[in-house]
Structure 1
């Protein structure tokens, strides 16, 4: 495993297309999915960066588009639900249907959360998740339930920071980034993707294949990223510094 990765250079507004994970990258992780704090400075910075990049900024998140819009991200390009849906800044939309069997999984997850203290159920339009950050002793049972339901319905099991999620197989953040890179205004530009979790590795691999690079956020681990920033605060400062002092377009 690489022991050290350097920080990325400031954004090149003439050549880069910027892709950003949300939780753990732009905002600190919270015990509850609805407990994250999205500051006004971050919202303003993201919209200003999108303008400077002529729309070549996209959030790439496990959260659905509607939830991110509610945090102040309406008007930005977003790939939500781990790539199962995306929207460009011009309103172009692509989404998959809710997977068959997801209602059964939702019911089983909700029942599990109701009977295991500290486990939180998160319902999503195209998936379902259990969060066990507040009660990690239930993690193994959460993961086992997810695996059983995945086998029964053909879902993909997505592991994250003390959570497990079921979603449609065949889509991920890398697939979403590849799709968006085929379309204006992203086509023909170098992709840069920032993410913190193992769910972001598919994105790191895709941007590398597309001539760009990934930026790992947080503690060093085995990764396809080639740059690193240590925490959420450093990401916000990097974005703000790029906006105020990065190369002009």
Structure 2
């Protein structure tokens, strides 16, 4: 039997803190990570909503922070690299050290992607990823290579990609860290995400008496609610800014 997942209730501006995944949640997935388009209207809406929530809005993503800032998100609190780095509301930026084992993984991933058309290497300060959305015939080999280089690292699957990254953190730990500090502390967390990497975030907000919102098709998830796609997310966010009555 297919699980039914209702749409999320409106945010309570006096009570809620909002955490948003980026790819597949705020913006549709693109064939290449750099090909994502972020409309100015979305950036403006996020800033307005952050103001309405008294600053309690943060981006929680697998991308690194400098990458997200390049899309216009530089003024928002953010946890990047699956919780391996974060920037708090006061602008303080912290990051875990880069494991030396990532250098060998990076070298192998670069050579692998160069020899296989359609496989895309994504370099990150705290991770290395192979995207095979354009070359599904190389999915198994990409995953096998990542497993070979996962010793001492975290093997992270995602939407038609595989990544090795800094261990010991995930989107759940990122949200928990942000919830320990102002302006998030003492509020109810709500997290929107689409991928298996977001399940740790759903678990974290649920443990803190909040709830998760799955973006995309219905599947087994720790989220309590669902929106169909990034367009539905934009509409839900926009409704929070409409005048009452």
TM-score, scaled relative to structure 1:
0.96
C-alpha distance in structure 2 between counterparts of 1:142 and 1:41, whole Å: 37
String of CA shifts for 1:39-80, please: whole Å, max 9, x gaps.
011000011111111110000000011111110001100000
Matching residue of 2:123: 123
String of CA shifts for 1:118-155, please: whole Å, max 9, x gaps.
0000000111100000001100000000011003xx11
Q: Does residue 233 of the first structure (1) align with residue 231 of the second (2)?
A: yes
Q: 1:245 to 1:148 in 2, by over 3 A?
A: farther
Q: Does residue 86 of the first structure (1) align with residue 114 of the second (2)?
A: no
String of CA shifts for 1:186-228, please: whole Å, max 9, x gaps.
0000000000000000000000000000000000100000000
C-alpha distance in structure 2 between counterparts of 1:17 and 1:148, whole Å: 39
TM-score, scaled relative to structure 2:
0.98
Q: Where in structure 2 are the equivalents of 1:54-133 lying within 5 Å? A: 54-133=54-133
Q: Please give the secondary structure, in 2, of the residue aligned with 1:104.
A: helix
Q: Mind listing any 5+ residue stretches in structure 2 that lack a counterpart? A: none
C-alpha distance in structure 2 between counterparts of 1:246 and 1:184, whole Å: 28
C-alpha distance in structure 1 between counterparts of 2:175 and 2:83, whole Å: 8
- How many equivalent pairs are there? 245
Q: Mind listing any 5+ residue stretches in structure 1 that lack a counterpart? A: none
Q: Displaced runs of 4+ in structure 1, greater than 4 A?
A: none
Q: 1:12 to 1:245 in 2, by over 3 A?
A: farther
Matching residue of 2:188: 190
C-alpha distance in structure 2 between counterparts of 1:145 and 1:243, whole Å: 46
State the 1:99 CA deviation: 1.2
User: Are the aligned partners of 1:79 and 1:87 in contact in 2 as well (CA < 8 Å)?
Assistant: yes
Q: Please give the secondary structure, in 2, of the residue aligned with 1:6.
A: coil
Q: CA RMSD in A?
A: 1.2
